[in-house]
């Protein structure tokens, strides 16, 4: 086999026959993937989780935002080099499990904010600082970022949060204690708030 392409194809064929080869790890080690993802069960339903070398990029509710659509969006906006690789998300999965079990109040995960921009990023940066078990109103968040008349735009930015739960947009409610909207649905927002009230 003097043809280099032929040799590479033969090596790939042999690798496919090896049952113990961890292809995602090999791709990761070779720098062939920019985004790793998995779909993980949770008490709130299946979550699509995606990570880049910079950090957690995406958490989405698979029944609200189907995984195929979420991955297509990531491929278009971040990189087409997307690979299913659950082990790359071990830390994310562990911290989410601890959170849902009531053993974690703060996430220690680096975040990739590529999908956050402009006003929305300012809203989410402020939202990230709302402590576990506390809430703020849309108006308070808007005021804190210097846009006191932008309560509705604040709600829209929270609805577009690419990293819910970890960036706790569920902790933002309407004035008067009304739950308000949530990208995962109001039932999930109530579940998260009740979990944090412990």
187, containing H or E segment: helix 186-197
Is 89 a catalytic site residue? no
Question: 48, 67 in Cβ contact below 8 A?
Answer: yes
Domain 118-197 class?
mainly alpha
User: What distance in Å separates the CA atoms of residue 22 and residue 39, rounded to the nearest whole number?
Assistant: 18
Every domain of the chain and the residues it spans: 33-100, 118-197
33-100 with 118-197: one CATH topology? no
pTM for the full model?
A: 0.85
Question: 173, 135 in Cβ contact below 8 A?
Answer: yes
Q: Choose the catalytic residue: 49, 130, 166, 169.
A: 169
| Helix pair angle (118-127, 151-159), 10° resolution | 80
Per-residue pLDDT of the chain (198 residues; tens, 9 = 90+): 456 777 766 766 666 666 666 666 766 666 778 999 999 999 999 999 999 999 999 999 999 888 899 999 999 999 999 999 999 999 999 999 999 999 999 999 999 999 999 999 999 999 999 999 999 999 999 999 999 999 999 999 999 999 999 999 999 999 888 888 898 999 999 999 999 997
The CATH architecture assigned to 33-100 reads 2-Layer Sandwich (3.30)
């Amino acid at each position: 086999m003097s043809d280099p392409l032929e040799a590479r194809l033969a090596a790939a064929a042999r690798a496919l026959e090896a049952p113990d080869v961890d292809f995602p790890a090999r791709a990761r080690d070779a720098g062939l993937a920019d985004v790793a993802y998995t779909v993980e069960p949770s008490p709130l339903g299946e979550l699509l989780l995606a990570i880049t070398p910079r950090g957690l990029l995406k958490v989405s509710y698979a029944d609200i935002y189907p995984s195929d659509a979420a991955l297509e969006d990531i491929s278009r906006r971040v990189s087409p080099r997307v690979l299913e690789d659950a082990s790359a998300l071990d830390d994310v999965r562990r911290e989410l499990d601890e959170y849902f079990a009531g053993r974690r109040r703060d996430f220690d995960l680096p975040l990739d904010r590529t999908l956050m921009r402009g006003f929305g990023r300012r809203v989410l940066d402020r939202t990230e600082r709302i402590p576990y078990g506390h809430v703020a109103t849309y108006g308070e968040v808007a005021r804190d970022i210097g846009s006191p008349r932008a309560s509705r735009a604040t709600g829209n930015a929270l609805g577009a949060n690419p990293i819910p739960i970890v960036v706790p947009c569920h902790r933002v409610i309407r004035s008067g204690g009304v739950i308000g909207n949530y990208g995962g649905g109001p039932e999930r927002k109530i579940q998260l708030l009740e979990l944090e009230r412990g």
